[in-house]
A and B are shown apart, each in its own frame.
Chain A
Amino acid sequence: MSEVMNRSTDQGVLLLHDAERERVMLEDAAGQVLARARAGGADTAEVSVSSSHGRNVTVRLGEIDVLEDARDRGVSVTVYINRASGSASTGDLAPESLMRTVDQALAIARHTQPDPAGGLAPAELMATTIEDFDQWHPHELDMTALIERAREIEQAGLDTDKRVENSEGASVSAEAAIGVYANSHGFVGSQRSTHFDQSCVLVARDASGMQRDWDWDEQGSFTALVDPARTGRKAAERAIRRLGARSAPSGRIPVLFDNSVALGLVKHLVGAVSGGNLYRRSSFLLDARGKKLFPEWVRIVEDPHLPRAARSSSFDSEGVATRQSSLIDDGVLQRYVLGSYSARKLGLETTANAGGIRNLVFAPGEKTFDQLVAQMGRGLVVTEVMGQGVNLVTGDYSRGASGFWVEDGKIAWPVEEITIAGNLRDMFAGLVAAGSDLETRRNIQVPSLLLDEMTVAGQQE
Chain B
Amino acid sequence: MRPLIRLDVSVIAEQGERRESGNAGGGGRYALARLLQREAWQKFADEAVRQALVNLEAVDAPAGFMTVVLGPGWPGVLLHEAIGHGLEGDFHRKGISAFSGRMGERIATEHCTVVDDGTLVDRRGSLSIDDEGTPGARNVLIENGRLTGLMQDKLNARAMGVAPTGNGRRESFAHLPMPRMTNTYMLPGEHPPEEIIASVDDGVYAANFNGGEVDITSGKFVFVASEAYRIKNGKLGPALKGVTLIGNGPDVLTRVAMVGKDLELDSGVGVCGKEGQGIPVGVGQPTLRIDGLTVGGTQ
* A-to-B contact residues, CB < 8 Å: 60, 66, 68, 70, 72, 166, 168, 203, 209-212, 242, 245, 247, 250, 280-282, 284, 386-389, 391, 393-394, 396-400, 402, 416-423, 455-459
* Other-chain contact of B210, A166, A284, A388 (Cβ < 8 Å): A388
B20 contact set on A, CB distance < 8 A: 393-394
Q: Give the residues in chain B near A389, CB-CB below 8 Å.
A: 210, 222, 224, 242, 244, 296
Q: Which residues of A contact B211 (CB under 8 A)?
A: 387-388
Residues of A within 8 Å of B221, CB to CB, are 386, 400
Chain A, interface SS category: strand
Answer yes or no: B277 CB below 8 A from chain A CBs: no
Q: Are A398 and B294 in contact (CB under 8 A)?
A: no
Give the distance to chain A from B248, nearest Cβ to Cβ, in Å.
6
Tell me, rounded to whole Å, the shortest Cβ–Cβ distance linking B64 to chain A: 5
Interface hits, B69-102 → A, CB 8 Å:
94-96, 98
CB-defined contacts of B21 to chain A, threshold 8 Å: 282, 391, 393
Q: Which of B1-41 contact A (CB under 8 A)?
A: 12, 14, 18-21
Measured between beta carbons, the chain B residues less than 8 angstroms from A242 are 218
Residues of the B chain whose Cβ atoms lie less than 8 Å from the Cβ of A396: 241-242
- Tell whether, in the assembled complex, residue A391 and residue B242 are in contact, meaning their CB atoms are under 8 Å apart: yes
Q: Which residues of chain B are within 8 angstroms of A280 by Cβ–Cβ distance?
A: 12
**Which residue of B94, B212, B217, B294 is within 8 Å of A419 (Cβ)?**
B294
- Give the interface size bracket for B toward A: 35 or more
Q: In this complex, what residue of A is CB-closest to B251?
A: A417
Q: Return the contact of A212 from the options B96, B243, B299 (Cβ within 8 A).
A: B96
**Residue of A245, A391, A458 touching B294 (CB-CB under 8 A):** A458
State A317–B19 Cα separation when bound (angstroms). 32
Known A-B contacts A398-B242, A398-B244, A419-B244; A210 and B98 likewise in contact (beta carbons under 8 Å): yes
Question: How far apart sit A211 and B224, CA to CA, in the bound complex (Å)?
Answer: 23
List of A residues within 8 angstroms of B248 by Cβ = 417
A259 to chain B, nearest CB (A): 20
B217 contacts A212, CB within 8 Å?
yes
Q: Could you say which residues of chain A place their CB within 8 Å of the CB of B65?
A: 250, 457-459
Closest to B18 in A: A394
Chain B residues within an 8 Å CB radius of A284: 19
CA distance A40 to B53 in the complex (A): 48
B222 engages A387 (CB within 8 Å): yes
Nearest Cβ on chain A to B17's Cβ, whole angstroms: 10
Determine if B220 and A400 form an interchain contact, defined as CB atoms under 8 angstroms apart.
Answer: yes
B295:A457 contact, CB within 8 angstroms: yes
Check if B110 is an interface residue, CB within 8 A of chain A. Answer: no
**Residue on B nearest A91 in the bound complex, by CB:** B174
